[in-house]
Structures are given as structure tokens and as C-alpha cells.
Structure 1
Amino acid sequence: MLDDLASAEGFAVLGVTGPDAIPDAGTRLARALADGHGATMTWLAETAGRRSQPAVLWPDVRSIAMFGMNYGPASDPLASLADPAAATISVYARNRDYHDLIKGALKRIGTKFAASAGAGIKVFVDTAPVMEKPLAAAAGIGWQGKHTNLVSRSYGSWLFLGAIFTTAELARDAPEADHCGSCRACLDVCPTNAFPAPYRLDARRCISYLTIEHKGPIPRAFRPMMGNRIYGCDDCLAVCPWNKFAAAASEAKLKARVDLEAPRLADLVRLDDAGFRQFFSGSPVKRIGRDRFIRNVLIAIGNSEREHFLPDVLRRLDDASPLVRGAAVWALERIAPAAAKRMSGARIAIEADPDVRAEWETAA
């Protein structure tokens, strides 16, 4: 029954496992947190017990159905990296927020299944303390590659995951084996060397973390490596050889909006809060807020080293947000170092925010 319901809702793959299927996940998570690889994501430690043991999250769970929805791109997701006037947004964020789409579908499936099976259910999509990737591997959907993301032999790197916990006893699927072999493409392509070892990710160095989760100024050492990546990073996903079997997403709401495939940096840097909210309405990009987003855009502008951005950068020097002002100083230093040096003394004297003053002091 679940197979038919999943297919009707657009899911490409379904697998079933149990709440006891990931006994080593807690140990791996504890090691990552002890090494500082969780960066500022304190909720990982706060919810570690529930994450690694599904039965702690819900004691009544007997089976876990894992669902995968294909969001494969129709074209090269890294093509825009070569255009210094464009921005690169992660494939998953180029249209509607998948959390809403998948949660709605799983709720419909769960309601029908619960009524038919007489079982209790709970639906989870990413935001709950559920370790979807280890559970999906245990359910046979794919395996966690050396980049720690799920890889499927049929869909490559491009699967959104969701879970239905149920009190029903369901037949379990066999776990998927690891098919990475000796390949290290995902490790070697990372611009910031965020993988200290295969199957280990240090979020402190990850561009996805830095552009999305990190709330303050991005460390200067990583800014040049970001290129024009302004929301997330797909490099390690896109280079996986298993993507040769992947297909483009069929769900219309997961197909990239044309205006988000390679948006112009000049347009994005001019967005005020209202314009940002309108442009990214319904998009996962919206959740980071306008100020963090413009911070990322200004770093991309700095990396372009194109002087035609100078008027926009100068306007952002007077932005209400210190986070934006600081990024604007760095962008100015990159595209017009002489102008940054000339302006630094007066700006240091009047700037109230210590992080922004530090940027001006470096520019001087």
C-alpha cells in the first residue's frame, strides 16, 4: 500500500527500516561534535539522544518508512560558477521550499495509511531531530558517500528525504552497500577542504554552512574560496560519478526557476528587506534573512573583482546592518583597494560596530 501511495505523491523511492537500525550513528555524531565539526549548530548536541535513537524521539515507533523525492537538475548545476557577474544558488533552493512540499505529501500518505492499517504515525522532514541519511541507507534507498550525503544508484546525489514513523510492524528492506570504492571526487573538489577524512565533514569549513547557518561575518580566510556561491554549495554533490544515472526532477515545484539558475549579482545586491522577501517568497533562501543574504552577495561581488560593481558596494557601506557593512568593506577592498585605503581612516573614526571597524582596519 505504501508503495502505491508514495508513487502517487511523486516519490521516486521508498524503503522501510526499524528504529534500531542505526546503532553506530550516535557514536559518529558524538565524535563529530567533540571535534567541533558541528560549528555553531548547538541544536545537534542538544538533541543528540533523540537523533541517534528514534525510539527516544517516539517510544511507540516500530517501523520507519523512508521516502526519497528526486530533485535532479536539468542542466549542469555548476555552470554559473564560471560567470563572475552571476550568483550560484544550490539546486535544492532554486524553487519552492521542499520542506513544505514533502511534508504535505507525507501527511497525505500517512493519513491514508493510518486509516487503512489502524496504526499511529508521525511525519518528519529535516527540521525534526531525525537522522534521515543513516535511516535511508538502512532502508536501502542509498548509502552515505564520502561527502556524508546520501547517494543512490538510480538518482545519484539528488534525493530529498522524509520519514514516516509508525506503530505498525512493516517488512524491512535490506540496507544499501557502500559503492564509493576508491573514488574521491567529492573530497577533492571541495573549495575549502571541508572533509578532514572520508565520511567526515567539518561544518566550520563548509560553504553550505557558512552561507546558510553561520550568522556572523564569514571568516576572511574562506571568503575567496566561496567564489560566487551565495546560498549553499553543490560541488561535492555534482561531481559524484553516480549522477550519470540521475534524471531531472519531474515535480514542477522542484524544477529550477529561470531567474534563480544564474541570477545577476547587480540585481541581488540592491534588494531591501521587502524586495528580498518578495523575490524569495516560498523559497528556502528566505529563512536566512535579507542581511545574511546580502553579506553573501557582497562576498561574491568581491570575488568577481569587477569595478562596475563599485556604485552598489558604496551604497551598502551605509547599510543599516553591520553584517552588510562589513561585507561591503571587504568587497570594496577587493574591487577597488585604493578607494578602500583612502576611505578607511574616516570610516574607522565613525563606525560603531567592532566587526566593521576591523574590516576597515584591514583595508587600511
Structure 2
Amino acid sequence: MINIAMIGAGATGKRYAQHLSATGQAEVAGICGENGEAAAELAEQCGCRVFSAFEALIESLPPGSVLVFTGASDSRRRNILHALETGYHVITEMPAACRPEELQEMLAARTSRSRLLFTNPGRFAHHNTDLRKRIAAGTIGSLGVINVKRYCPLTLLPEDQEQRRHACRSHAFEPGLTEAAWASGIRWTGGLREDQGEERPGGALYRLALQDIDILRWIAGEAASVYAMRTASERLDYILATIKFRNGAIANLEAYWGYPGEYASAAEYAGSGGVIRYDSRKTDALHLYKYAEAEVHPGHRGFSPSFRNPEYADLLHLLDCIKEGREPVTAAEDALETMNLAWAASQSIRTGLPVEPVSCAPADASSASSGGRRGGGDNA
């Protein structure tokens, strides 16, 4: 049984605690969160101790324990570094840092006794794994053009009161915007914001587009350049990015926070031999279009993959990796590559020019059709 400590007791922390307990392989031994009331409530549900200070929590844990970080706090980066340097395993969400160099610092803090693992439910969503398998198998030939989008209605960006207070403290609002104004419906939804020399990720780029950037890298390979544009106001944040991949494929990516309709995500991969599509708004979500041999119109077949909880599958996979010493589907270096590409998109937004991402991947890492170079094993 693996000892687990939860740092963060918001909505994500509660879900993760439930998933971890359901695996039968982990026991939640402690909860620590800035919102003491929420932390105490989650600790009661898990039957474990609650800690007001991270230092007290980590001192109570036996060697080999796993710390699961969710949500945002001013001390998250420092606490992750401390946990890794002292020999504890860390599971955290992507991107986990504001800048690529901060993520590199976390990778460097690992020891022979500690591992840094990233949750990435998108790679465990059945439609994504199925898309990747079919494209890698050459079902639609060589990739040419990709269109992906993710639309999300306007909500409070922080998941709970704890994160809302953190947002106020860290100047995540426009200057002079009070919590009362936030509560009245006036809110900032931007991407990177610079206040007092600090940069914090958020908005459509890091909370929506980052997921699709990672999936695109997983399926299409490493990127050669990215050109991105953004428009934002109090009630919307829209990102449009064009990514050119090393294998010649081009992806158009949309991320829209403040969409007036329901949440939706869709993807279309067009290759030399056909098109494959996914749309979350359709029951038969995955559609495959093949060019007919003697007809102008392509053949069409729709089907609905079986459903499962990608968060649960992801966490179960990470626990197995810790127990068995295996590499995860999303290696830490892989998360850094995704962060580098997202950071390049943010720089393109600022400069108005295409940007080449800083990459650790070799120039020939991308294949003609599928590019999951690290941790790319099937997880279906």
C-alpha cells in the first residue's frame, strides 16, 4: 500500500483522493491545504490527519511516500522542490510551473529516491488513444492538416474559495480589481499576466490549449514553429495558434474561454488517405472518412468508443509506475517539451511573430504520422 499525502483540497484534490482510494493500492495519510475548512472536510472523508503546514505534513510521512499536488498556491514550487530533494515522490498537474526554467529546476531536483510524475488525463481519454492508434497505423495516410478546438463556458477560473483567495493575493486580476468585483461577475480570464515582475499561467492558453498542445505532440510529433494570436476581455479569452510540425503537418488550434454554449472539444486529422474526426457533442463521437476507390465521395463510418474515467486510469497508471519503476506515458521531460511549446505560443502572442520552441528532442524524433516519442506506449 502506497502512502499518499494530498496538498490541495479543492475540487480536483477531492476527485483525486477518491480515485486514489478506489484503486485499492494507495492510502491517503494526510491532507494539507490553504483552505483549512476544506482540508479538514477532505481529511474527515479520507479518515486521515489534516495539517496546516507543509513542513509538518512531510515530517510525518515515511520514506517512499507520494505527495500529490493539486491547485495553485504561492508555495507550490518551493514545496515540490523540497519534496523531491528529500526523497519523496511527487505527482502534480501540468504545467506545474510558470516558466520552462522553473520546470527544469524541478527535473534537476530529482534524486535516486524521488520521481516527478505528471497527471495527464488527456492521454487516457479513449478517443485520444483510439485516434493515435489509427493514425499511427496509417489509417488516413501521412498527416497533412489538423484542426482542433476546445470551447469552455465562462466560469470562475479558480476551482474553489482557496484558489480564489490565492488569485487575489497573486494579482491574477486586473490592477485594482477587488474580490467583491470578482464576485459580481467581473473577472480576468487572460493568459500570462505580469505584475510586480511575476508571471503566472492561466486563461485559455494554459488551462485549455495546453491540453491540446500536448495531445498534438503525442500524435503528430515535435513542433518546428508556432504562431499564435489572442483576444481577451473581461468575459472571454480566445487563442488561435498555428503549429508547424517537423514532419510537415500543420495544426490549427482554437481555445475559447467564455464560449456562450456548452463545453465542447473537437479534432479533425486529415491525411493523404482520408480524414478522422472527433466531436464531443455527438453520440457517435469518433468518425472515420476513407476515400472510396471508385467514387468521388468518401466512405463514412461512425462509432462510439467505450467510456472510462481518464483521471482514474491516469492515477492508477502513475501508481503502477512508482511501484514497478516503469516510465509513465507522460515522462517529466515530455511535460517539459509541452511547456516549451506553450511558452513559445505565449511569446508569439506578445511579439506577433512565429516562434521556434526550445526543444530537447532530437531533430529526427518525429515520424511521418505519429510522434509520441517519450512514454508513447499504448495505454488503452
TM (normalized to structure 2)?
0.25
> Which structure: larger Rg?
1
Query: Higher strand fraction: Structure 1 or Structure 2?
Result: 2
TM (normalized to structure 1)?
0.26
